[in-house]
Amino acid sequence: MHILLIGSGGREHALAWKLAASNQVSQVTVAPGNAGMATEAKVSTIAIDVTDIDALEAFAQNQQVAMTVVGPEAPLVKGLVDRFVASKLPVIGPTKAAAQLEGSKDFAKQFMAEYDIPTAQFATFSDSADALAYLDTHPAPIVIKADGLAAGKGVVVAQTDEEARRAVHDMLDDKTFGAAGARVVIEEFLAGEEASFICLVDGKTALPLATSQDHKARNEGDLGPNTGGMGAYSPAPVVTPSVHDKVMQRIVNPTVRGMAKNGAPFTGFLYVGLMIDNAGDPRVIEYNARLGDPETQPLLMRLDSDLVDLFNAALAAELHDAEMIWSDDSAVGIVMAAGEYPAGSSRGEVIEGIDAADATGAKVFHAGTSHDEAGNTITAGGRILCVTARGSSVSQAKSLAETAANEIHWPNIHWRRDIGYRAVARDR
Ligand code: AMP
Ligand code: GLY
């Protein structure tokens, strides 16, 4: 079968690699893809933008695409799945209405309030005077979030009242996030440890993937500005069996039931960003309507099931009878980024050592890469690679991923040497 995969990051390289490994798949076309994917057997790329729904639909119709898989949120929020469903094209992802769980923080918060799903206390504002008055009675630490999609950058965890007031002013008065920041959600600061909890959902049943955790901060020790994610690992030991049960009973199942009841059944990957407190009680920090990047890279390295079987079960609404088989191994993915990431975007630097890194047994997933005229693989800005390895523990997988990452060089490079440190401390 021919699969169309939409997206261009490390998450999509991992999906393309895993889908191509299925003996049911003859061809994976990635739109628009990146330079690394085309080196995979059975995988090619096509220059169609992820939000060009007309062109993607025409491609799926004209190229006998049996199934389309959507990686990033933008086409989901724009309604790609609604269009494909209307045209009877099988597609993995939520409709526009269901993707509002990610597309609007206010929608997500109202929904959680309606169904008693545990999350931080919140209030929503479009007027800065009202927001500032609220801050007078709600001191720091406190969290300010742009309502709409802001590429992971619309969240300020304010440690001081001054920072909180500045964030409100930036978003509501100075419109630093444009329309996405025309409303802000002000939210109670939650203490605890974060984890990513991702499920494949068919509208009625949620089948949880293995647990994972990513590192959103740029610098070692989880310091510095928020990014899309600097590395991830699976499993996340903070999600004990008891926490897992609570997440399913208190959060995931009520979410799936509530969305169906509200007439917007959720299909595709539901990502719940969790904060787990000292008592092991989980609360929702955010929903995403897609797989996490970089969580997908270590997760798919541990998945022993055929992803196509799981997608077919999801399309047939038969996930209640499906099973995901995971390796007992752990996996760690280390993101290698351009030096200034998440600010600026240097590009065009020649990347050396990818083959040597792959030769160590790790897998180098590409994100922001392209080719120059001489055929060199070069940086294309932002997150460049995700070097992912499996091992018998998080410590071992981390050390194998670092050995591979040490083979890779370009002049202006940045990566964290402490991915998975919480799990490593627990291994000891
Ligand atoms: P989000 O984009 O909503 O996932 O937020 C980005 C990051 O900000 C999260 O991964 C958390 O580290 C942090 N964060 C968001 N909301 C809260 C909260 N209510 N309390 C503490 N930290 C938060
Ligand atoms: N790694 C977090 C995300 O994909 O949003």
Average pLDDT along the chain: 95
Band (pLDDT 50/70/90 cuts) for residue 178 is confident
The reported pLDDT for the residue numbered 148 is: 75
Contact 230, 416 (CB under 8 A): yes
149 C-alpha vs ligand 1 centroid, how far in Å? Answer: 14
**Ligand 1 neighbour 194 (Cβ under 6 A):** yes
144 C-alpha vs ligand 1 centroid, how far in Å? Answer: 9
H, E, C per residue of the chain:
CEEEEEECCHHHHHHHHHHHCCCCCCEEEEEECCCCHHHCCCEEECCCCCCCHHHHHHHHHHCCEEEEEECCHHHHHHCHHHHHHHCCCCEECCCHHHHHHHHCHHHHHHHHHHCCCCECCEEEECCHHHHHHHHHHCCCCEEEEECCCCCCCCEEEECCHHHHHHHHHHHHHCCCCHHHHCCEEEEECCCCEEEEEEEEEECCCEEECCCEEECCEEECCCEEEECCCCEEEECCCCCCHHHHHHHHHHHHHHHHHHHHHCCCCCEEEEEEEEEECCCCCEEEEEEECCCCCCCHHHHHHHECCCHHHHHHHHHCCCHHHCCCCECCCEEEEEEEEECCCCCCCCCCCECECHHHHHHCCCEEEECCEEECCCCCEEECCCEEEEEEEEECCHHHHHHHHHHHHCCCECCCEECCCCCCHHHHHHHC
Encode pLDDT of 349-380 as tens digits. 999 999 999 999 999 999 999 999 999 999 99
Contact 213, 271 (CB under 8 A): no
Return the sign of the alpha-carbon dihedral for residues 373, 377, 378, 383.
Answer: positive
**Ligand 2 neighbour 7 (Cβ under 6 A):** no
Contact 383, 10 (CB under 8 A): yes
Band (pLDDT 50/70/90 cuts) for residue 51 is very high
Judge whether residue 151 has pLDDT over 90.
no
Choose the residue to mutate in 122, 124, 143, 171 for probing ligand 1, maximizing ligand atoms within 8 Å of C-beta: 143
Nearest of 109, 111, 87, 85 to residue 96 by alpha carbon: 85
**Ligand 2 neighbour 194 (Cβ under 6 A):** no
288 C-alpha vs ligand 2 centroid, how far in Å? Answer: 8
Contact 30, 37 (CB under 8 A): yes
Judge whether residue 155 has pLDDT over 90.
no
CA distances from 36 to 12, 18, 196, 364 (A): 11, 14, 26, 9
The reported pLDDT for the residue numbered 57 is: 98
Closest C-alpha residue for ligand 2 atom 2? 292
Nearest of 297, 299, 314 to residue 383 by alpha carbon: 297
Encode pLDDT of 321-331 as tens digits. 999 999 999 99
Q: ∠ at Cα 147 (126, 51), nearest 5°?
A: 130
Encode pLDDT of 377-424 as tens digits. 999 999 999 999 999 999 999 999 999 999 999 999 999 999 999 989
Closest ligand 1 atom, residue 217 Cα:
12
The reported pLDDT for the residue numbered 346 is: 82
Judge whether residue 292 has pLDDT over 70.
yes
Contact 200, 266 (CB under 8 A): no
**Ligand 1 neighbour 190 (Cβ under 6 A):** yes
The reported pLDDT for the residue numbered 396 is: 97
The reported pLDDT for the residue numbered 373 is: 94
Judge whether residue 172 has pLDDT over 70.
yes
Q: Are strands 2-7 and 27-32 parallel, antiparallel or unpaired?
A: parallel
Query: Which value, in Å, is the radius of gyration of the alpha carbons in the chain?
Result: 21
Report the alpha-carbon distance of residue 250 to residue 271 in Å, rounded: 15
Higher pLDDT, residue 198 or 224: 198
The reported pLDDT for the residue numbered 243 is: 98
Closest ligand 2 atom, residue 286 Cα:
5
The reported pLDDT for the residue numbered 149 is: 73
186 C-alpha vs ligand 2 centroid, how far in Å? Answer: 21
The reported pLDDT for the residue numbered 79 is: 98
Closest C-alpha residue for ligand 1 atom 10? 216
The total number of residues written for the chain in this structure: 428
137 C-alpha vs ligand 2 centroid, how far in Å? Answer: 32
Report the alpha-carbon distance of residue 46 to residue 202 in Å, rounded: 28
Q: Which ligand is nearest to the CA of 9?
A: 2
**Ligand 1 neighbour 286 (Cβ under 6 A):** yes
Closest C-alpha residue for ligand 1 atom 3? 286
Closest C-alpha residue for ligand 2 atom 5? 292
64 C-alpha vs ligand 2 centroid, how far in Å? Answer: 31
Return the sign of the alpha-carbon dihedral for residues 67, 232, 186, 115.
Answer: positive
Band (pLDDT 50/70/90 cuts) for residue 152 is low
Report the alpha-carbon distance of residue 375 to residue 369 in Å, rounded: 12
Q: pTM of the predicted model, to two decimals?
A: 0.95
